[in-house]
């Protein structure tokens, strides 16, 4: 199984417009195929995120990487006339750092809680920490790469009715909201998640990186964010905190007793 070689570097932020240039079919892609994707430079972002966030949040960010990669196989916009293209290797590199680092602000770790940006909405807080990390750990990344990674982290909970998003940013957004809310979660207006991800692919990703107590960790963070930062970016979510809590999935997206939840391959990076 192979991925397309190039993708649209920029796509419409509006759901219907995005779908109009997409060719999504929820084809099954084995977790082993996703797992085989390698990026360079990895810059220890995996280890950095694992050290700073809780195990459940860490599993969430890794699942986001694999969910995003799956969309590159199942019909993400590619070859649209007049639109700049980005190669698979370059996009997967940006996705790797973006997904792994996107929730650094979702942590009670002392290093995170005492960072000078800790009073900001968690997206900005985490993005600033990601920016600092990449400049130290991945000096070979140029300003365009770092800019796309950091900006995609800042914007990963936001959406707009018009304008454009980078491929990296919309993939970060889609994978994050899908992992939080599942097939019935709130995503882009007009977008049906059942048309994006095959349940068996989802089940294998969740088997490799189980949700565990993600619900409890996320709920605690949402509560804290809304109390300490009433103007946080998530306050713009439809229904506010109550809307987020209703959207937050308690168990696996694909239940373990589902016919689609066959045993997947355990990721060797999971310890």
In a domain, 6, yes or no: no
Give the pLDDT of residue 201: 97
**Is cis: bond before 183, omega within 30 of 0?**
no
In a domain, 8, yes or no: no
In a domain, 137, yes or no: yes
In a domain, 1, yes or no: no
Going by C-alpha positions, the residue among 94, 95, 106 that lies closest to residue 52 is: 106
Residue 245, token pair as written in the block:
């809590």
pLDDT category, 266, cuts 50, 70, 90? Answer: very low
Residue 192, token pair as written in the block:
């049906």
Say if CB 9 and CB 167 are below 8 A apart.
yes
DSSP assignment of 151-211: HHHHTTT---SSSEEEHHHHHHHHHHHHHHHGGGS--STT--GGGT--HHHHHHHHHHS--
pLDDT category, 65, cuts 50, 70, 90? Answer: very high
Give the pLDDT of residue 80: 96
How far, in Å, CA of 222 to CA of 229, rounded? 10
**Is cis: bond before 41, omega within 30 of 0?**
yes
Give the pLDDT of residue 258: 61
User: The domain that contains 28 carries what CATH number?
Assistant: 1.10.3210
In a domain, 97, yes or no: yes
DSSP assignment of 215-267: HHHHHHHHHHHHHH-TT-GGGGSTTHHHHHHHHS-SS-SS-TTSTT----PPP
In a domain, 168, yes or no: yes
Q: Residue 239 CA to chain centroid, in angstroms?
A: 22
Spatial neighbors of 192 by CB under 8 A, at least 6 apart, are none
In a domain, 5, yes or no: no
Going by C-alpha positions, the residue among 86, 223, 82, 197 that lies closest to residue 149 is: 86
Give the model confidence (pLDDT) of 192-237 as tens digits.
899 999 999 999 999 999 999 999 998 888 888 888 899 988 888 8
pLDDT category, 96, cuts 50, 70, 90? Answer: very high
The percentage of residues in the chain with a pLDDT greater than 70, rounded to a whole number, is 94
Going by C-alpha positions, the residue among 7, 56, 3 that lies closest to residue 27 is: 3
Going by C-alpha positions, the residue among 211, 190, 215 that lies closest to residue 254 is: 211
Domain containing 175: what range?
16-247
Q: Which helix (H) or strand (E) holds 87?
A: strand 85-87
- At residue 107, does pLDDT exceed 70? yes
The pTM assigned to this predicted structure is 0.92
When divided into structural domains, the chain yields a total of 1
In a domain, 255, yes or no: no
CA angle 55, 168, 147 (to 5 degrees): 95
């Amino acid at each position: 199984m192979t991925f397309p070689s190039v993708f649209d570097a920029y796509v419409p932020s509006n759901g219907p417009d995005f779908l109009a240039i997409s060719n999504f079919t929820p084809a099954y892609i084995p977790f082993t195929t996703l797992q085989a994707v390698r990026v360079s430079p990895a810059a220890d972002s995996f280890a950095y995120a694992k050290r700073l966030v809780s195990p459940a949040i860490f599993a969430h960010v890794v699942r986001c990487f694999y969910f995003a990669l799956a969309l590159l196989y199942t019909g993400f916009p590619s070859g649209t006339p007049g639109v700049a293209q980005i190669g698979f290797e370059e996009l997967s590199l940006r996705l790797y750092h973006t997904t792994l680092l996107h929730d650094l602000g979702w942590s009670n770790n002392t290093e995170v809680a005492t960072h000078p940006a800790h009073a900001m909405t968690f997206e900005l807080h985490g993005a600033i920490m990601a920016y600092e990390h990449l400049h130290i750990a991945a000096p070979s990344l140029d300003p365009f790469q770092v800019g796309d990674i950091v900006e995609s982290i800042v914007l990963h909970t936001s959406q707009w009715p018009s304008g454009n998003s980078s491929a990296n940013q919309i993939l970060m957004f889609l994978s994050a909201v899908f992992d939080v809310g599942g097939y019935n979660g709130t995503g882009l207006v007009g977008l049906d998640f059942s048309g994006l991800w095959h349940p068996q692919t989802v089940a294998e990703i969740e088997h490799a990186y189980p949700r565990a107590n993600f619900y409890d960790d996320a709920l605690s963070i949402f509560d804290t964010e809304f109390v300490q930062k009433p103007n946080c970016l998530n306050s713009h979510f439809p229904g506010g905190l109550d809307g987020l809590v209703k959207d937050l999935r308690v168990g696996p997206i694909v239940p373990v007793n589902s016919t689609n939840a066959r045993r997947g391959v355990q990721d060797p990076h999971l310890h």
